Chain A
């Protein structure tokens, strides 16, 4: 087993400190602080959580408990092109599940994971308000409608070239 040390730069520590201070270092604001931190860093690595815990004077176990409780918080960095598959009712009945399976097969990752090259990450979401286009897949800010499992390979290639 190898251990990966994620070193935070002084600048990052300062950012976390400022985020915490903007909420008066109040442990009751932990969720809001985690939101802000994730907005900034893209995800919540261990050292970010540890630094937040230090600033709020609470245990890192408690911070980790909250991070793992809410599915919105992530400890894995998002890929360069985050892929979200809508599994809301309309998309689901029109075959989102099959599209998702195809994406998993193509990228060789599960939901919530990122490809080893850091290019793609895969997640599910519920309804983007484009039910008429179901099933919908979003890559970054770009929306793909009426996606069939056969289209997946071609869409991914757009980003690989």
Chain B
């Protein structure tokens, strides 16, 4: 590729042909402000519709201002990034955007964490010179995601995530001009669309147009109710991200402080979803080994690969898009639901609490878990196994509202019975982690030997679709891994067409796995944050005395006292589920 000589603010530099002004400026440390633009380079996601016009710059010899995110450099180009004309234009553009934006900043869920707000501040907007009609749309409240399109600025990042990255195809720009809005087909509510509730649209929304359904007030109400015993479980990815909400660097592990905070919030018991992750491995691993051995013995009724089923966004995805293949994922419930099912039976009995008086709250990096907790099949006589699922962000709000901060809290341990976990449970938070955890246990059960080196480095990494071979003492297992639903789709189509042969496949709906979940602290496009969280997960695993799920003493005890053995009838009843054909028919509602 040839190099091109350009000048930015008088500074000469050489960049590759095809580089945009924005990228070139970044190389010499000049940050041009952007709004609709989004670049998650480690995930190969770039979104530059050139729509908002905030990133305009002056190009010598060009009459009008150039949007730097879509304008490519040419030989001899001379760019000025902050002339008077540019600054005025940016401020005018911002004022026009704000003239059709509700002035609800103080009460908005995104207050203090909003790209639009920050940019208005940075650009020095102190007054809106334009007044006129404001566009209004109906609010769409699903169990997981709330769409308040009055706050939409048409950056269309959500569309890129939904259509290009996740390939769910739920959102599209509709209508034109003033009434234009991003919405599902026929302006249906999300709950009636094939939305998987992965929350990636929420994760990239620069304003309060897309937010999670907030259940913190219901949790506060439950905590205040003296007749209820309220317990909490925390997912693996939460402990490596929660600190960010309190100003700690990304990747800070705050497990102990999080436990202390939850206890001070008034939860009667603080447990660990990692425990349930270990339980998932026992059930999923057993199912895998059973299917594998029958397959190797020539049983034609057995289908491989087995697909992991612990990600509820992924479960929604295949129920909508691949219902014909719903017999290949494992029937094991997700750790959140396994926890709920065991808590409301085994634990309720141990604690001497009636099911209806036990409230199970889960803290998840995920928005799809909210939808999952509401599924009909995860209820007993109307009482849900998991009462409320809140996100990492909601937990941070809850802490800020009550005890303020976590930084000065002591490190405390999870409660006994469902609080012990191994390193295998921890790595569930990373892409490749579930299958690595499964391999640690399946290897020992299959070979009867001790696995000396527990790390399967070939399963780790950030690449979107990966395949690796794991050696089970001579038996070579082909493992596939995909994170992001678009990548999952590729793998599924490949299986459907019989083009690839895997024994087992792990799929996570969100890029990076749960550490990049739709309920995590916003990374504002900085993928270094995701990497730091991923590294922290592996560090937490390394620090664990036990690193294989089947060695977890509380899991051993649970099977001895309650479940019998993995895949027993009782285990099946409580820990496994079935999937539905949810291919949606479109209809108009009048």
A residues neighboring B (CB under 8 Å): 1-6, 45-47, 49-50, 58-65, 68-69
Contact = CB atoms under 8 A, between A and B. Distances in A.
A46 B183 CA distance: 15
B351 to A, nearest CB: 44
B176 A50 contact: no
**B contact face: mostly helix, strand, loop, or mixed:** loop
A59 B169 contact: yes
Q: Point out which of B176, B586, B587 has the most chain A C-beta atoms below 10 A from its C-beta.
A: B586
A5 B590 CA distance: 11
Interface of B: 163, 168-176, 183-186, 193, 585-590
A5 B587 CA distance: 6
Given A68-B175, A68-B176, A69-B175, A62 B169 contact: yes
Contacts of A61: 169-172, 174, 183-185, 193
A123 B175 CA distance: 18
A6 B174 CA distance: 22
Rank and list the top 7 A-B pairs by shortest CB-CB distance, nearest first: A59-B169, A61-B172, A65-B172, A61-B185, A60-B185, A64-B185, A50-B586
A60 B176 CA distance: 17
Contacts of B589: 1-4
Contacts of A5: 585, 587
23 contacts: A4-B587, A4-B589, A6-B587, A6-B588, A46-B185, A46-B186, A47-B587, A49-B185, A50-B586, A58-B169, A59-B169, A59-B172, A60-B185, A61-B171, A61-B174, A61-B183, A61-B184, A61-B185, A61-B193, A63-B185, A68-B174, A69-B173, A69-B176
B422 to A, nearest CB: 41
B588 A64 contact: no
Of the listed residues B174, B176, B185, B587, the one surrounded by the most CB atoms of chain A closer than 10 A to its CB is B185
Contacts of B176: 68-69
A3 to B, nearest CB: 5
Given A4-B587, A61-B169, A69-B176, 5 more contacts: A4-B590, A50-B185, A59-B185, A61-B171, A64-B174
Contacts of A2: 589-590
Q: Pick the most buried of A3, A4, A61: most chain B CB atoms within 10 A of its CB.
A: A61
Contacts of B588: 3-4, 6, 45-46
A63 B184 CA distance: 11
B195 to A, nearest CB: 10
Contact of A62 (B163, B586, B587, B590): B163
A64 B186 contact: yes
Nearest to A64: B185
B174 A69 contact: yes
B590 A60 contact: no
B587 A64 contact: no
Nearest to B187: A64
A65 B586 contact: no
Most buried by B among A46, A59, A69: A59
Contacts of B585: 5, 50
Nearest to B180: A69
Contacts of A45: 588
A151 B169 CA distance: 50
B303 to A, nearest CB: 25
Contacts of A3: 587-590
Contacts of A68: 174-176
Contacts of B175: 68-69
A2 B186 CA distance: 15
Given A46-B186, A59-B163, A65 B587 contact: no
A46 B585 CA distance: 10
A83 B171 CA distance: 34
A31 B586 CA distance: 21
A58 to B, nearest CB: 7
Contacts of A65: 172-174
Nearest to B589: A3
Nearest to A61: B172
A123 to B, nearest CB: 17
A46 B586 contact: yes
B190 to A, nearest CB: 11
A13 B248 CA distance: 58
B586 A60 contact: yes
A58 B168 CA distance: 10
A61 B170 CA distance: 6
Contacts of A58: 169
Nearest to B590: A4
Contact of A64 (B168, B172, B590): B172
Nearest to B167: A59
Q: Which of B168, B183, B193, B587 has the most CB of A within 10 A?
A: B587
Nearest to A47: B586
Nearest to B175: A68
B543 to A, nearest CB: 44
